[in-house]
Amino acid sequence: MTSQVASGSREPLGAHEVGDAIARGRGSSTRTVERALALLSEVCTREAVTLTECARHTGLPASTALRLLRTLESRGFISRDDDGGSFRAGPRMIQLGATSLGRNELARLARPALDRIGTATHESAYLSIKGVDETAIYIAQVEGTHAVRHSSWIGRAVPMNGLAVGRVLRGDIPPEGYVAGHDLLEPDVTAIVAPVRYPGGIAGALSVLGPTYRIDQDTMHAYGRIVATEAAELSARLGSVPDEQETRA
Protein backbone atom coordinates (compact mmCIF):
# COMPACT_ATOMS: atom_id res chain seq x y z
CA MET A 1 0.00 0.00 0.00
CA THR A 2 1.30 3.46 -0.91
CA SER A 3 0.89 6.13 1.71
CA GLN A 4 0.19 9.67 0.69
CA VAL A 5 0.63 12.95 2.51
CA ALA A 6 -2.32 15.30 2.36
CA SER A 7 -1.70 18.60 0.67
CA GLY A 8 -0.58 21.26 3.15
CA SER A 9 0.50 18.77 5.81
CA ARG A 10 4.13 18.15 6.83
CA GLU A 11 6.02 14.93 7.04
CA PRO A 12 7.23 14.03 10.53
CA LEU A 13 10.87 14.83 11.22
CA GLY A 14 13.33 11.99 11.14
CA ALA A 15 15.64 11.17 14.03
CA HIS A 16 18.60 13.01 12.48
CA GLU A 17 16.52 16.10 11.81
CA VAL A 18 15.23 16.14 15.38
CA GLY A 19 18.79 15.84 16.67
CA ASP A 20 19.94 18.70 14.46
CA ALA A 21 17.09 20.89 15.68
CA ILE A 22 17.94 20.18 19.32
CA ALA A 23 21.62 20.92 18.67
CA ARG A 24 20.73 24.25 17.08
CA GLY A 25 18.61 25.14 20.08
CA ARG A 26 21.38 24.25 22.48
CA GLY A 27 23.87 26.26 20.46
CA SER A 28 21.62 29.30 20.59
CA SER A 29 21.17 28.93 24.35
CA THR A 30 24.92 28.61 24.86
CA ARG A 31 25.56 31.80 22.87
CA THR A 32 22.98 33.65 24.95
CA VAL A 33 24.62 32.54 28.19
CA GLU A 34 28.08 33.49 26.89
CA ARG A 35 26.84 36.94 25.90
CA ALA A 36 25.11 37.49 29.24
CA LEU A 37 28.25 36.45 31.13
CA ALA A 38 30.40 38.78 29.02
CA LEU A 39 28.08 41.68 29.85
CA LEU A 40 28.00 40.76 33.54
CA SER A 41 31.80 40.67 33.63
CA GLU A 42 31.99 44.03 31.89
CA VAL A 43 29.61 45.66 34.38
CA CYS A 44 31.20 44.13 37.48
CA THR A 45 34.80 45.03 36.63
CA ARG A 46 34.01 48.74 36.32
CA GLU A 47 32.66 51.36 38.69
CA ALA A 48 29.81 52.09 36.28
CA VAL A 49 29.36 51.42 32.58
CA THR A 50 26.91 52.69 29.97
CA LEU A 51 24.97 50.64 27.44
CA THR A 52 27.16 52.00 24.64
CA GLU A 53 30.34 50.92 26.47
CA CYS A 54 28.89 47.47 27.21
CA ALA A 55 27.98 46.95 23.57
CA ARG A 56 31.35 48.20 22.31
CA HIS A 57 33.50 46.16 24.72
CA THR A 58 31.56 42.93 24.20
CA GLY A 59 31.04 43.34 20.45
CA LEU A 60 27.26 43.02 20.77
CA PRO A 61 24.58 45.07 19.03
CA ALA A 62 23.17 47.66 21.41
CA SER A 63 19.68 46.14 21.18
CA THR A 64 20.97 42.68 22.15
CA ALA A 65 23.07 44.11 24.98
CA LEU A 66 20.10 46.07 26.33
CA ARG A 67 17.82 43.02 26.26
CA LEU A 68 20.33 40.90 28.19
CA LEU A 69 21.16 43.71 30.62
CA ARG A 70 17.47 44.11 31.43
CA THR A 71 17.24 40.39 32.17
CA LEU A 72 20.26 40.58 34.48
CA GLU A 73 18.76 43.65 36.13
CA SER A 74 15.45 41.90 36.74
CA ARG A 75 17.31 39.13 38.57
CA GLY A 76 19.29 41.56 40.72
CA PHE A 77 22.69 40.74 39.21
CA ILE A 78 23.13 44.31 38.01
CA SER A 79 21.44 47.60 38.84
CA ARG A 80 20.95 50.85 36.99
CA ASP A 81 21.71 54.36 38.22
CA ASP A 82 18.77 56.57 39.10
CA ASP A 83 19.21 58.50 35.87
CA GLY A 84 19.13 55.22 33.93
CA GLY A 85 22.40 55.97 32.18
CA SER A 86 24.85 53.52 33.74
CA PHE A 87 24.91 49.96 35.01
CA ARG A 88 26.82 48.58 37.99
CA ALA A 89 26.97 45.39 40.08
CA GLY A 90 23.60 44.65 41.67
CA PRO A 91 22.71 43.36 45.15
CA ARG A 92 22.61 39.72 44.06
CA MET A 93 26.06 39.93 42.51
CA ILE A 94 27.47 41.69 45.57
CA GLN A 95 25.95 39.03 47.83
CA LEU A 96 27.47 36.23 45.77
CA GLY A 97 30.85 37.95 45.70
CA ALA A 98 30.86 38.55 49.44
CA THR A 99 29.89 34.94 50.10
CA SER A 100 32.64 33.66 47.84
CA LEU A 101 35.27 35.88 49.44
CA GLY A 102 34.06 35.01 52.92
CA ARG A 103 34.58 31.33 52.17
CA ASN A 104 38.00 31.84 50.64
CA GLU A 105 40.41 30.01 52.89
CA LEU A 106 43.38 32.16 51.97
CA ALA A 107 41.47 35.34 52.83
CA ARG A 108 40.48 33.85 56.17
CA LEU A 109 44.01 32.78 57.03
CA ALA A 110 45.45 36.14 55.95
CA ARG A 111 43.14 38.25 58.08
CA PRO A 112 45.31 38.27 61.24
CA ALA A 113 48.38 39.18 59.16
CA LEU A 114 46.49 42.04 57.51
CA ASP A 115 45.36 43.28 60.92
CA ARG A 116 48.94 43.27 62.23
CA ILE A 117 50.27 45.03 59.13
CA GLY A 118 47.57 47.68 59.42
CA THR A 119 48.29 48.18 63.14
CA ALA A 120 52.05 48.47 62.56
CA THR A 121 51.90 50.82 59.56
CA HIS A 122 48.54 52.59 59.91
CA GLU A 123 48.29 52.21 56.12
CA SER A 124 45.86 50.08 54.08
CA ALA A 125 46.90 46.42 53.79
CA TYR A 126 45.73 44.06 51.05
CA LEU A 127 45.73 40.41 50.02
CA SER A 128 45.76 39.78 46.28
CA ILE A 129 45.78 36.73 44.03
CA LYS A 130 46.33 36.05 40.33
CA GLY A 131 43.31 36.72 38.14
CA VAL A 132 42.60 35.94 34.52
CA ASP A 133 44.34 37.59 31.56
CA GLU A 134 47.47 38.60 33.48
CA THR A 135 45.66 40.51 36.22
CA ALA A 136 45.86 40.66 39.99
CA ILE A 137 42.66 40.69 42.08
CA TYR A 138 42.44 42.22 45.55
CA ILE A 139 40.34 39.91 47.72
CA ALA A 140 40.84 41.15 51.30
CA GLN A 141 41.75 44.43 52.97
CA VAL A 142 42.29 46.20 56.27
CA GLU A 143 41.83 49.92 55.81
CA GLY A 144 44.41 52.37 57.11
CA THR A 145 43.71 54.69 60.02
CA HIS A 146 45.05 57.94 58.55
CA ALA A 147 42.61 60.60 57.40
CA VAL A 148 44.21 60.35 53.95
CA ARG A 149 44.47 56.67 53.06
CA HIS A 150 44.22 54.28 50.15
CA SER A 151 40.58 53.43 49.46
CA SER A 152 39.25 49.92 49.06
CA TRP A 153 40.16 47.94 45.95
CA ILE A 154 38.31 44.82 47.05
CA GLY A 155 37.24 42.83 43.99
CA ARG A 156 39.19 45.07 41.62
CA ALA A 157 41.36 43.47 38.94
CA VAL A 158 44.47 45.37 37.84
CA PRO A 159 46.97 44.53 35.07
CA MET A 160 50.15 42.95 36.45
CA ASN A 161 52.52 44.58 33.96
CA GLY A 162 54.68 47.22 35.60
CA LEU A 163 53.19 46.85 39.08
CA ALA A 164 54.88 45.64 42.26
CA VAL A 165 52.07 43.16 42.86
CA GLY A 166 52.55 41.80 39.34
CA ARG A 167 56.25 41.19 39.91
CA VAL A 168 55.53 39.35 43.13
CA LEU A 169 52.74 37.17 41.75
CA ARG A 170 55.03 36.23 38.84
CA GLY A 171 57.80 35.25 41.25
CA ASP A 172 60.16 38.13 40.43
CA ILE A 173 61.22 38.82 44.01
CA PRO A 174 64.58 40.29 45.14
CA PRO A 175 66.62 38.85 48.05
CA GLU A 176 64.98 41.28 50.49
CA GLY A 177 61.77 39.27 50.10
CA TYR A 178 59.57 42.15 48.95
CA VAL A 179 59.06 44.54 46.04
CA ALA A 180 58.51 48.25 46.64
CA GLY A 181 57.86 51.12 44.27
CA HIS A 182 55.52 53.80 43.04
CA ASP A 183 52.24 52.54 41.63
CA LEU A 184 51.86 53.08 37.87
CA LEU A 185 48.06 53.18 38.16
CA GLU A 186 48.20 55.73 40.96
CA PRO A 187 51.48 57.70 40.71
CA ASP A 188 51.04 59.29 44.13
CA VAL A 189 50.80 55.87 45.83
CA THR A 190 53.66 53.66 47.01
CA ALA A 191 53.15 49.89 47.12
CA ILE A 192 55.16 47.41 49.17
CA VAL A 193 54.40 43.78 48.31
CA ALA A 194 55.61 40.35 49.51
CA PRO A 195 54.71 36.83 48.31
CA VAL A 196 52.52 34.32 50.12
CA ARG A 197 53.76 30.88 49.11
CA TYR A 198 52.47 27.35 49.30
CA PRO A 199 54.24 24.10 48.27
CA GLY A 200 53.04 24.51 44.68
CA GLY A 201 54.26 28.07 44.16
CA ILE A 202 52.89 31.54 44.95
CA ALA A 203 49.40 31.59 46.42
CA GLY A 204 49.02 35.35 46.65
CA ALA A 205 50.60 38.55 47.89
CA LEU A 206 50.38 40.76 50.96
CA SER A 207 50.84 44.48 50.39
CA VAL A 208 50.78 47.91 51.96
CA LEU A 209 49.58 50.88 49.91
CA GLY A 210 49.85 54.46 51.05
CA PRO A 211 50.47 58.00 49.76
CA THR A 212 54.04 58.50 48.58
CA TYR A 213 54.49 61.75 50.50
CA ARG A 214 54.16 59.76 53.74
CA ILE A 215 56.42 56.84 52.77
CA ASP A 216 60.06 57.86 52.34
CA GLN A 217 62.86 55.38 51.58
CA ASP A 218 63.49 54.43 55.21
CA THR A 219 59.78 53.98 55.89
CA MET A 220 59.34 51.99 52.69
CA HIS A 221 62.04 49.50 53.70
CA ALA A 222 60.73 49.29 57.26
CA TYR A 223 57.27 48.48 55.93
CA GLY A 224 58.84 46.02 53.51
CA ARG A 225 60.36 44.05 56.38
CA ILE A 226 57.00 44.02 58.18
CA VAL A 227 55.11 42.80 55.11
CA ALA A 228 57.78 40.21 54.24
CA THR A 229 57.76 38.82 57.78
CA GLU A 230 53.98 38.48 57.82
CA ALA A 231 53.99 36.93 54.35
CA ALA A 232 56.63 34.39 55.40
CA GLU A 233 54.64 33.42 58.50
CA LEU A 234 51.46 33.01 56.45
CA SER A 235 53.42 30.96 53.91
CA ALA A 236 54.57 28.67 56.71
CA ARG A 237 50.95 28.12 57.73
CA LEU A 238 50.25 27.06 54.15
CA GLY A 239 53.05 24.50 54.29
CA SER A 240 55.88 26.39 52.60
CA VAL A 241 59.21 25.98 54.42
CA PRO A 242 61.91 28.71 54.55
CA ASP A 243 64.29 26.82 52.21
CA GLU A 244 61.55 26.65 49.55
CA GLN A 245 60.84 30.35 49.99
CA GLU A 246 64.48 31.31 49.54
CA THR A 247 64.88 29.01 46.55
CA ARG A 248 61.91 30.52 44.70
CA ALA A 249 62.74 34.14 45.55
Domain coordinates in residue numbering, the chain = 15-94, 104-248
What is the percentage of the chain residues whose pLDDT exceeds 90? 45
**What angle, 0 to 180 degrees and rounded to 10, lies between the N-to-C axes of helices 217-237 and 105-121?**
150
Q: Which amino acid is at 180?
A: A
Specify which of 21-35, 41-55, 147-161 reaches the highest per-range mean pLDDT.
41-55
Task: Report the pLDDT averaged over residues 127-136.
Answer: 85
Question: Which residues, 6+ apart, have CB-to-CB distance to 115 below 8 Å?
Answer: 142
Per the CB < 8 A criterion, the answer to whether 104 and 139 are in contact is yes
| pLDDT for 240 | 82
| pLDDT for 162 | 86
Domain at 15-94, CATH from 1.10.10.10, 1.10.3720.10, 1.10.1740.10, 3.30.70.270: 1.10.10.10
Q: Rounded to whole angstroms, how far apart are CA atoms 123 and 244?
A: 30
pLDDT in tens, 199-221: 778 989 999 999 988 999 999 99
| pLDDT for 92 | 80
Please name the CATH architecture into which domain 104-248 falls: 2-Layer Sandwich (3.30)
Same fold, 15-94 and 104-248: no
